[in-house]
Structure 1
């Protein structure tokens, strides 16, 4: 391969058309003209190491970020609480920072769970572009709507539910999210620790480990290192539907 063709391929891959997540990302419905303009405001994908913060709680809001690869967790520190509370996990094609739109700063920190790449969208330029292209404005509103539904689902998941129901609902939610991105809904990596899962679900680490062990003994899941295999979607769904 010549140097010129290699360079051209790298440039194409850095644009939305060359991204494997294009069909599930913010740019998926854009016309070619809008897509060209959208590509023009995307800053070069930033690499993050595991444990590195993308944004810090209280940092001035200036950009949205699209997860190109890897995963992150969103954590918040509230007055009177010990330690950070995990409130969300971001997967490839997710938009980071939507809840900060209209605010002066990011309400929570976002930290990489593994080696992660994100595309930065300076919001002032994105907002200007959305005013010119209806499809981009609609996609942005759709992203915000999905975030609201996610928050509502999380409230329902935690409200009056047992530890088994919370963990079953969490795993089913991950399965749905991976499937929507074209990955397997039955086998995926749990890049978050059990302590992070517990923080997210309002459960102690020991409880998460105990319930996960019970799920394995019941044949609902198989865990090998960080890899989780769902052996019975129906069994997890039945747990979530128990009253």
Structure 2
């Protein structure tokens, strides 16, 4: 059977040890010998075409996926059948952690652009972690990060107005891209405005108004999907509530 065009695998001799996002992914803090052992679990990289699903809700847990190139969104269907975006993932981040508790995926993962991931077979990863304390520590760290991310999202949704939510989203993306060696001030949004709105709990028109408000304050310039942060400190102050009107 020929491979599906959306998911094309290419076999490699090495994986983690030669990866450009090594320091941001699962092997962080591991020595060369330990990374070599983890290498043995990654026998191929998988290419995912823009718009294609890496996995869907209800799929059984087989692997965790380290994003090597490109970006993904995770989403769930709400009670009324609408898509609820739950996250955006860029190189060096892990996908599939949602499936660990129930052994099946709780959400969908779609590529926002032509992307590439490194699948790590979960059962083999668990077995290897038993003999590598550094790997077990990193798995625990990844799970803890997911909890912190969920708590941060709840705080964002509960305590911030729409402009502050949008500013926080842009700042978060800026910081994550900067860690990967990209510009913190000039970047391209891979997701649509509707997807940003879904993630932030805002309507499309509210996102558009928020962009206009941030531009009026000369904090950012957004043309299409091109973002230029003009006043990083001002954006941070807005998120901190320094520009919030008295209540």
TM-score, normalised by the number of residues in structure 1: 0.91
Which stretch shows the higher mean deviation, 204-213 or 25-34? Answer: 25-34
Q: Give the match for residue 123 of structure 1.
A: 122
- After TM superposition, what 4+ stretches of structure 1 lie above 6 angstroms from structure 2? none
SS of residue paired to 2:67: strand
After superposition, the Cα gap between the structure-2 partners of 1:128 and 1:231, relative to the gap in structure 1 and judged at 3 Å, is: same
Q: Give the match for residue 6 of structure 1.
A: none
Which stretch shows the higher mean deviation, 218-227 or 101-110? Answer: 218-227
User: Is 1:232 aligned to 2:231, yes or no?
Assistant: yes
User: Is 1:208 aligned to 2:210, yes or no?
Assistant: no
Summarize the alignment of residues 143-162 of structure 1 with structure 2, pairs less than 5 Å apart: 143-162=142-161
The separation in 2 between residues aligned to 1:77 and 1:43, in whole angstroms, is 33
Deviations along 1:106-130, one digit per CA (max 9) or x if unpaired, are 0000000001100000100000111
SS of residue paired to 1:159: helix
SS of residue paired to 1:177: helix
5+ residue gaps, structure 2, are 1-10
Aligned length in residues:
232
Q: Give the match for residue 173 of structure 1.
A: 172
Which stretch shows the higher mean deviation, 58-67 or 219-228? Answer: 219-228
Which stretch shows the higher mean deviation, 160-169 or 14-23? Answer: 14-23
User: Is 1:199 aligned to 2:198, yes or no?
Assistant: yes
1:16 Cα offset (Å) = 1.6
Q: Give the match for residue 27 of structure 1.
A: 27
- The CA RMSD over aligned residues, in Å, is 1.5
Summarize the alignment of residues 183-198 of structure 1 with structure 2, pairs less than 5 Å apart: 183-198=182-197
1:98 Cα offset (Å) = 1.2
The separation in 1 between residues aligned to 2:176 and 2:146, in whole angstroms, is 13
Q: Give the match for residue 4 of structure 2.
A: none
Deviations along 1:173-212, one digit per CA (max 9) or x if unpaired, are 1111112222221112210100000000010111101111
User: Is 1:85 aligned to 2:76, yes or no?
Assistant: no
The separation in 2 between residues aligned to 1:121 and 1:52, in whole angstroms, is 19
1:99 Cα offset (Å) = 2.3
User: Is 1:99 aligned to 2:94, yes or no?
Assistant: no
The separation in 1 between residues aligned to 2:80 and 2:180, in whole angstroms, is 35
5+ residue gaps, structure 1, are 1-9
1:11 Cα offset (Å) = 4.8
Q: Give the match for residue 54 of structure 1.
A: 54
Which stretch shows the higher mean deviation, 114-123 or 140-149? Answer: 140-149
SS of residue paired to 1:54: strand
Q: Select the structure that is richer in helix.
A: 1
SS of residue paired to 2:118: strand
